[in-house]
Amino acid sequence: NFVAGKYELNEKLPSIETILMVRYFMGYRIYQYSQQAAAYLEPILNGLRFNDSTKDITIKQLSDSKR
């Protein structure tokens, strides 16, 4: 039974929320972002491209925003 079973999360995969956010933006063809939006999304999209864990993406994003 899938609901009653105990499963470990694979931290190497992007979260459903991240995938849906990217799919939403790409589905509506929003390719030209403001500089602030691009700076926010760049580490997230790069992390997805390189299959980084959600934890790694968050750390990279926080360190990049301090610059």
Residues 6+ apart with CB under 8 A from 38: none
**Is there a domain that residue 2 lies in?**
no
- Give the start-end residues of each E strand in the chain: none
Given this model, what pLDDT does residue 30 score?
Answer: 57
Whether the CB-CB separation of 18 and 52 falls below 8 Å is answered with no
Q: Output the pLDDT for position 47.
A: 80
Note down the domain range covering 29.
16-65
pLDDT tens digits for range 16-48: 777 777 777 776 665 677 788 878 888 877 887
Number of domains making up the chain: 1
Q: What is the DSSP letter of 14?
A: P
What pLDDT does residue 41 have?
Answer: 80
The mean pLDDT value of the chain amounts to 71
Residue 61 in this model has a pLDDT that exceeds 60: no
48 Cα distance to chain centroid: 6
Q: Is residue 20 part of a domain?
A: yes
